Structures are given as C-alpha cells and as structure tokens.
Amino acid sequence: MGATETRHDLWLKRINTWIGIVGGSVASLVGAYNFFPSAPGNIAAVVREQSGTPLARARVELLTSQNVLLGTSVTDRNGRYIQKDLQPGSYILKVGREAFDPQIATVSVGSKKTTDLELVLIRRGGAQAPARARATSTSYNQGDPIRSALEETGASWIKNLAKGGAQQ
C-alpha cells in the first residue's frame, strides 16, 4: 500500500480493531462463566461374588457425593451395571444383594470418559475376607477419591492382619 491512506483504509482499520476488541471480550466472558457445560461421562461396573462369578440381580443405587439418590437399578445376568450421561464429578455406588454384605464405592466420573469399576460382594456367614473394589478410568489423576478409598481399605486390612486376624 502506498504512503497515503484513503478514508476507506482508515475505516477498515477501525472496524478490524473493534472486531478484535469485541471478539476478545466475548471469548473471555465465555471462558470465565463456562457457558458451555462439560460433556457427560459414564460408569461401567461389574459386580462379582468373591469366587469371581458375576452376580446377577444385585441392587445398585447411584448417589451424588452429598448422598442424594439419583436412581436404582439391578445388574444384568453378567453382573454388569452401566450408567450413561453423568455430569463429571464424584458419585457413590451402593451395591447389595440378599445373602451378601453390601459394598459402597466412590466413583469419579470424567468428561467424555467411562469409569470402569469392579465390585466384589462377600457372602454373609462365609469366610470373612476384605471387600475389594477396583476402579480404572481413562482420566486417572493423583488424589483420586477411588484410589484414596482403596488405600484406606487396604491399610485397615493390613492393620487387622498385624493384630492377629482379618476379622472385621
């Protein structure tokens, strides 16, 4: 462009400047107020007996981290429970069936992720062994509530072993 600018060129510069200012302001507002919610995630759980056999018709309760019941369901004949379209966050699963001790697990659901969980129910009156829950997720983070719960369960079991038995 030559050394002299026309009125048209000056107006184009002003318009482009204002577009940049307004566009940047809108982008910062959207980012600050999170107008676009994060994508939902899923929970996929398998409930088994201590022997490893899938446990059909086990009752599963899904609760928020504040213990608000979101819904109940039962496992299918392969012991599977699937809950889709959950907002990212922390949830509680309570699983039980007649003749078995109930199991409670804290589950962390990530955006666009499926959290896989395995729960083992122990038959009442049978040999007492520690209840175990194993969870894996494609969004595993340090300080994960599932990891903390598993470590606490393992630590208490080891302490009981040191005291002379695994009675609970």
pLDDT digits (tens, 9 = 90+) for 72-121: 999 999 999 999 999 999 999 999 999 999 999 999 999 999 999 999 99
| 49, 29 Cβ separation under 8 angstroms | no
Q: Give CA–CA dist 44/91, Å, rounded.
A: 13
- 102, burial (CB in 10 Å: exposed 0-12, middle 13-18, buried 19+): middle
pLDDT at 140 over 50: no
Q: Give CA–CA dist 166/29, Å, rounded.
A: 56
Q: Which fold has domain 41-153?
A: Immunoglobulin-like (2.60.40)
Q: What is the pLDDT of residue 142?
A: 44
Neighbouring-strand partners of residue 64: 91
pTM value surpassing 0.75: no
Average confidence (pLDDT) over 11-23: 83
Interacting residues of 102 by C-beta distance below 8 A, sequence separation 6+: 94, 95, 96, 121
Q: pLDDT class for 138, splitting at 50, 70, 90?
A: very low
